[in-house]
A and B are shown apart, each in its own frame.
Chain A
Amino acid sequence: MPSDIIAAGYAVSYTHTRQAHHPRPRPRLGRLLLIALTLAFLGVFLVLPLLAVFVQAFAKGVSAYLGAISDPMAWAAIKLTLWVAATAVPLNLVFGIAAAWAIAKFEFRGKNTLITLIDLPFAVSPVIAGLIFILIFGANGWFGGYLRAHHIRVVFALPGIVLATLFVTLPFIARELIPVMQAQGKDDEETALSLGASGWQTFWHITLPNIRWALLYGVLLCNARAMGEFGAVSVVSGHIRGLTNTMPLHVEILYNEYNHTAAFAVASLLAMLAMLTLAAKSFLESRQPQLRHAVSQPRDRTRRQQT
């Protein structure tokens, strides 16, 4: 291995020359240049769009901004978005805990396949996530006739929006909990059980406190996506103003009507949600460092095998 040779050479020079003790000064100029380049890139590429949202939102003054976000249609959109998130997040939370319990605490065949299947929604375009529910519940879908006969609306109504949101946010909480629960093993739980605790007591008093940061982390990310989802919801919502318009969809409608100030005003609320999410995420990572980097990757095998 070349690295072994280099390491051996390093050991030799380390003992024989003083210079080796202080490796020659790293080129400061290059380092400064790289830092400057990175800051400039992130500034132009990430910070500037965020800034643009707020500048555009306040382009016509504070009263226009306040007027735009207190518009009844905007309020209806905000309320709907909160409702959808308040339904989807708890359901996926229960699923996440159940899935993590089964996967982390027990051995069974097909476990890796199950983990891959849980991640499946991440591989699917949001547009297709909406399409599948139209194919099932839409007018000429599998259950279309039945639903029409019984006057039940799924697609182009609240249930469809919730279903599409559930689909796209399904993996978030499970994937945060699985590695944390796997790392913690099951000794604590087995001790509690052997001391006479019931299954529920063990879960509430032992498991839940152990996973609380990962749980919050997953809920945070799940909520951000649930409130911000656009593609999937757009396909199933039908864009009925005041009824099936979530905040991101309302932003689109206002924007397409060239009502840019109002569009950016509602968008600024979502941007604030994003900034809050990032701040809370940073805080949780400082509480539990192993949560870091977990956000955007399917599953970090490298790290899991180390622990």
Chain B
Amino acid sequence: MIPAPAAATELKLHKPGRILPGFGLTLGYTMVYLSLLVLIPLSAVIIRSLGLGWSHFWETVTAPRVIASLRLSFGASLIAALLNAVFGLMVAWVLTRYTFPFRRFIDAIVDLPFALPTAVAGIALTALYAPNGWLGIWLKPLGINVAFTPLGVVVALTFIGLPFVVRTLQPVLEDLDQEVEQAAATLGASAVQVFLRVALPALWPAILTGFALAFARALGEYGSVIFIAGNMPMKSEIAPLLIVSKLEQYDYAGATAIAVVMLVLSFALMFGINALQNWAASRHQGR
């Protein structure tokens, strides 16, 4: 058994006593449950796609409509994550540094995109940004159409991703040593200089992590987007929607091929985020 050496050191470290029970049971249950629900089903996608054959796979994935949807999914997610990084930094900064009325309420409301079912967010945003909606009516004279355009996709993805950046930044901002900033201020640095030269360098890893998390979430997002996007092929059709429409046409092979591309990208992102967080943690400890 693997845990034997660990158990031995445990016994030496602690007072004489029994080792905790239940290791085999809980680990076994965890592995079986995880395999049945996640690992085996996910491998089904990979195995199915292997059955497609390379040329068929490549043909499906490089079809113009698929390329357009992947490009939109990527581009819109990237813009949304950038917007989240900027606005998320502002929100996190204001929430951790300043006191003002209803701060706790506002802090709680930041998680709304996380708690609100995506379909509800989707129809609410569409109602707001439609040409006759509360916001759309103001944007229309400016020549800005949000609903039923790629811009609508960006708005929905920004809504969904905001908590990721704010919640990643808040603990880091709280831990930041404010004395250093005050020192810089006493030495004559302006508020902007203090922010740019002292605070921001310490925040970069967290900003990057939040950005990556928001990007990863945006890539796979479906519910909030499909209502506001208009879903025109080649124009405002995201990749997850294309998977759904292929499924509805019983084109399982096509749906699987797109799914594999998205899975590979998502997993690459996840490993990137893991590496980022390890780097941030080691930096944090090094200080």
Contacts and interface: CB of A to CB of B under 8 A. Distances in A.
Contacts, number: 348
A279 B107 CA distance: 11
B184 A6 contact: yes
B149 interface: no
B32 to A, nearest CB: 10
Contact of A35 (B34, B98, B120, B241): B98
Nearest to A132: B41
A200 to B, nearest CB: 9
Contacts of A298: 213, 270, 273-274, 277
Contacts of B124: 49-50, 52-53, 56, 267
B17 interface: yes
Contacts of B31: 114
B263 interface: yes
B111 A132 contact: no
Interface string B166-199: 0110111000000110111111000100000010
A152 interface: no
A89 interface: no
A49 B59 CA distance: 41
Interface string A76-120: 000000000000000000110111011101111100001011111
Contacts of B16: 194
Interface stretch (B63-71, B140-148, B254-262): B254-262
Nearest to A286: B104
A273 B112 CA distance: 11
B185 A23 contact: yes
Chain B contact residues (Cβ within 8 angstroms of A): what range? 35 or more
A44 to B, nearest CB: 7
A95 B172 CA distance: 31
A70 to B, nearest CB: 19
B50 interface: no
B117 A41 contact: no
Interface in B237-271: 240-241, 243-244, 247, 252, 255-256, 259, 262-263, 266-267, 269-270
B112 A274 contact: yes
A131 B109 contact: no
A248 to B, nearest CB: 4
A159 interface: no
Interface stretch (A7-15, A61-69, A208-216): A7-15
B284 interface: yes
A24 B189 CA distance: 10
Given A124-B220, A228-B117, A34 B94 contact: yes
A166 interface: yes
Contact of A270 (B117, B167, B266): B117
Nearest to A136: B44
B121 interface: yes
B220 A228 contact: no
A241 B172 CA distance: 47
A131 B20 CA distance: 40
B57 interface: no
A124 B263 CA distance: 7
B281 interface: yes
B55 to A, nearest CB: 21
B208 interface: no
A231 B240 contact: yes
A38 interface: yes
Interface string B75-101: 000000000000100110111001010
B120 A270 contact: yes
A50 B23 CA distance: 46
Contacts of B58: none
6 contacts: A6-B187, A6-B198, A23-B185, A105-B20, A231-B221, A235-B244
Given A52-B128, A132-B45, 7 more contacts: A48-B135, A53-B124, A56-B127, A101-B26, A135-B48, A191-B17, A297-B167
Interface of A: 3, 6-7, 9-10, 13-14, 19-20, 23-24, 26-27, 30-31, 34-35, 37-39, 41-42, 44-50, 52-53, 56, 94-95, 97-99, 101-103, 105-109, 114, 116-121, 123-128, 131-136, 138, 140-142, 163, 166-167, 170, 186-187, 189-191, 193-194, 199, 202-203, 224, 227-231, 234-235, 247-249, 251-252, 255, 260, 263-264, 267, 270-271, 273-275, 277-279, 281-282, 292-293, 295-303, 305-306
